[in-house]
A and B are shown apart, each in its own frame.
Chain A
Amino acid sequence: MKNHPLILVALTLCCVCILTAQPSDDTQLKQVIIFGRHGVRTPNAPNSTLFNFSVQQYPNFPDASGAPLTGVSVLTPNGAADETILGGYFRLWLTQEGLLTSNDSADANFVFFQAASAPLITQTAEAFWTGMLPAAGPPNIYVVPQAQGADPLFDPLDAGVATLDSEMAVAAVNGRIGGNPQALASAYAPELALTRSLLFNYPLSQTPVPVTPAGKEDVTSIPFTVATGSNTLPVNLGGLALVAEAIDPFVMEYTDGLPNAQVGWGQLTAGGITQIFRLYDLLLDLAFRTPYLARVQSSNMASHIVRSLVQAATGNTMAGALATPETKVIVLIGTNTNIVGLAGLFHLDWLLPSYEPDVAAPSGALMFELRQSQSTGEYIVRVSYVAQTMDQLRNRTALTLAAPPASAPVFVPGCSVRNATLDCPLGKFVRIANQLIDPHSADLVN
């Protein structure tokens, strides 16, 4: 389970550590790893459950014929369309970069897709493939066979690759908030007040606030806790988890293009959605970015990403890498918890217009480019976060190289240099990854 070979590679590559900012970019893209979230979906809870939390019914999301979609966590047709648009953008960009050739069937041999097994996620991957390689035939998405159990990349806990010490998890989270989760309720009072006014349909400025309507549950008044969780949510955050469930539909309502009257029942602007989502961001931050939780839950993904980059740079097949040394494009589709966790492990931050900092937007992806300098042969990793803005999603805006999705170049702490693209020498990236990855939470399975 130990990553000894990476140390050797770090030594092998240490000649590339002297890369400094260069006036012109003479690097060539050798491989790209796109680690994305699923597209716009229906809420995670049925409307009948959500209606316990609100005085108005949550809206239905339309299927292709306009009829209500049934089922929770279902990729919407608009979500799939957005994902294909994004795939189409990557097709343009990767063609410009020379990684794709426009011969889709040939290119498909150098492309590897893996998705977590939920239909929401596999369908997202298929929609993305359709945009990126439209003529390559049916999407070829690797999904861990059900008989093998959980996917160790996206769910290393259920897969048994990583083990969470639940007492340590609770302590690690409690020890970020003074052991007093309820103090979060006052720190986030403006967002909780906004949530309550929306759910119970009264003006935010109304004082005193009205009592909870009969038969309804006020999710904003349920105590926040930090208790032993599950493999889905590694700590039980009490009321915060219910708040997140109740507000989760709003961003999907907006990005799916529902009429204004159905976005937060007509009361939420894009800015209001952004503000209310701070509560969801808080939950993700506590449960997935907390260093101990990020190490346990995201080391396996990090290890596979780093080893795949090294494999592509050296041309030598490595254990614990994805696909083959010849693979040019790796697309991994999971959930926001996966992306936020990996970002937390490396202490990465980003900000895109219309979103809060560090939000893993629907369809958005952390992207790792492996590039090689044409003059020195040095390999560097260039990290960015790419996502359609909320309005690009809502309007299903066509994306081109001239009208791209939003993109945030990401500084990798301890690695990036000071040039415009914040390039991170591969040898250095391997070294910091070795510091951050818990070898006991990663496997060497390809």
Chain B
Amino acid sequence: MKPPSLKVFALTFSFVCSLTAQPVDDTTLKQVIMFGRHSVRGPVAPNAYLNNFSVQPFPDFGVAAGILTPNGEKLETILGGYYRQWLTQEGLLTGNDTADANFVFFHANAIQRTVDTAEHLWTGLLPGAPVNVQHLTPTTAIDPLFDPVDAGVAQLDSRLAIASVIGRLGGNPQSLASAYAPEMGLARSVLLGYPGTQTPAPATPANVTDVTNFTTNPIAVTSGSPPVSLGGLSTLGNAIDPFIMEYADGLPAGWGQLTAGGVSQTSRITNLVLGLEFRTTYLARAYSSNVASHIVRSMVQSATGNAMTGTLGTTSTKVVVLIASDVNVCGLAGLFHIDWLLPGYQPDFCAPGGALVFQLRQSQSTGEYVVRAAYIAQTMDQLRNQTPLTLEAPPGIAPIFIPDCSSANATFDCPLAKFVRIAKQVIDPQAADLTN
């Protein structure tokens, strides 16, 4: 299970460590790995369940729970079209889609919304080539890249998982209710249908469950839905999850009570849940080491041209696309301690269709390889309006500084050898496999 060969590559590449900020970018793109979230979907919980939490019924997205919406499909194709333009400009795609498809590797988690997202991204990226997305079947299959714990690749000590989360909260998760009081208040006013400024806030109607009442449903860290259950906070997370999807799908958000800014503010609760469950260091190591290992090894494979175990695609693969969920993207970010911010969103938010994008680039003058990371996503309004994307009107792009690796140039280039070295520090080899 250990990837000892990475050490060899680290040594092989150690001559490239002297990269410093350069006035002119003389690098060419050799490979790109996109690790994205599915696009706009219906709420994961059925409306029949969500309607317990609101005075008005949740809107109908026209799809079953957790299924990608028709707008989500369109949005993903728009995004794929942008990547097509960008990768053509970068010389990775040629315009001959059938030929290019041989150098493109798509892998999606087994569930409908991730497979469908990948297929529509493909359609935008390579419209002239038959869609070819690798994924496990049936939809309930456990993919070791995206759920290594259930797949048996990584072991989770559930008591340590609880300790690692509760030890970020002073052993008192209930204190989150006051720390996030403004967001709790906003969520309650939307769900129960009164102005956020109304004081005193009205009582909860008899037939509604107030998901911000943490006296009846305390915020607590227990073993449960993987990796930990957060009690009342998990329930609240479910209840507010539809808002961003409503906005992005073009529906009124929060029954018309939420502006884009209000949706963004409620998403702090989503960020809180994901931050605790997937960015917490121990949990990020358990859940994200395998995908991190595969990403890093794929770049090394591409740079050296030598086939390696534990990689994605082949030595000649130019575009690797992985589509999964926000938990996966947030987890990988937590593992490397990377942050981003796109206009309109909260920091580190994993937007519908958004992706961590890792470019493997080579300097034309020195031959050095660098990794250039960015987070790319359509803004909330680009999603809502299905805005066409071009090189002049791109999606939101946040260049990312990789701690202990990036240099100070504008694109925060991170020498490949250094990236391998920090990856070895943050990846738990016991939680990664060498399966291709």
Contact = CB atoms under 8 A, between A and B. Distances in A.
Interface centre among A205, A356, A357, A417 (most CB of B within 10 A): A357
Interface in B307-343: 337-343
Contacts of B21: 167
A354 interface: yes
B397 A416 contact: no
Q: Interface residues of A: mostly helix, strand, loop or mixed? A: loop
Interface stretch (B69-77, B165-173, B244-252): B165-173
Interface stretch (A118-126, A168-176, A313-321): A168-176
B109 to A, nearest CB: 26
A416 B341 contact: no
B340 A351 contact: no
Interface string B389-426: 00000001111111110111110100000000000010
Interface centre among A187, A274, A354, A385 (most CB of B within 10 A): A187
B62 interface: no
A356 to B, nearest CB: 5
B412 A175 contact: yes
Interface centre among B197, B343, B346 (most CB of A within 10 A): B343
Interface string A331-356: 00000000000000001011111111
Contact of A275 (B170, B181, B338): B181
A186 interface: yes
Nearest to B161: A418
A178 B337 contact: no
A291 B163 contact: no
Contacts of B134: none
A198 interface: no
B264 interface: yes
Given A186-B264, A408-B171, A170 B408 contact: yes
A355 B179 contact: yes
A149 interface: no
A411 B175 contact: no
Contacts of A167: 21, 408
Contacts of B157: 418
Given A204-B197, A274-B179, A172 B401 contact: yes
Given A171-B406, A175-B400, A351-B179, A416 B164 contact: yes
Nearest to B374: A178
A186 B170 contact: no
A115 to B, nearest CB: 26
A356 B197 contact: no
Nearest to B349: A187
A347 B337 contact: yes
Contacts of B160: 417-418
B238 interface: no
Contact of A187 (B181, B347, B407): B347
A271 B179 CA distance: 8
Contact of A409 (B165, B167, B342, B344): B167
Nearest to A411: B167
A187 B178 contact: no
A411 B164 CA distance: 6
Interface range for B: 35 or more
B281 interface: yes
A41 B197 CA distance: 33
Contact of B168 (A178, A350, A418): A350
Contacts of B396: 178
Given A271-B178, A353-B178, A176 B164 contact: no
A179 interface: yes
B182 interface: yes
Interface in A142-177: 165, 167-168, 170-177
Contact of A176 (B178, B339, B344): B339
A233 interface: no
A437 B17 CA distance: 20
A205 B402 CA distance: 40
B281 A21 contact: no
A376 to B, nearest CB: 20
Given A176-B341, A292-B403, A409 B398 contact: no
Contacts of B152: none
A352 B176 CA distance: 9
A183 interface: yes
B172 A351 contact: yes
A320 B171 CA distance: 33
Contacts of A356: 179
B406 A411 contact: no
B168 A411 contact: yes
Contacts of A418: 157, 159-160, 162-164
13 contacts: A168-B408, A174-B399, A176-B339, A176-B340, A180-B343, A186-B343, A187-B345, A275-B181, A292-B403, A349-B168, A408-B170, A413-B280, A413-B281
For the complex of A and B, list the 4 residue pairs with the smallest distance between their C-beta atoms, beginning with the closest: A175-B401, A411-B167, A408-B170, A178-B398
Interface of A: 21, 165, 167-168, 170-180, 183-184, 186-187, 189-190, 204-205, 271, 274-275, 291-292, 347, 349-357, 385, 406-414, 416-420, 422, 435
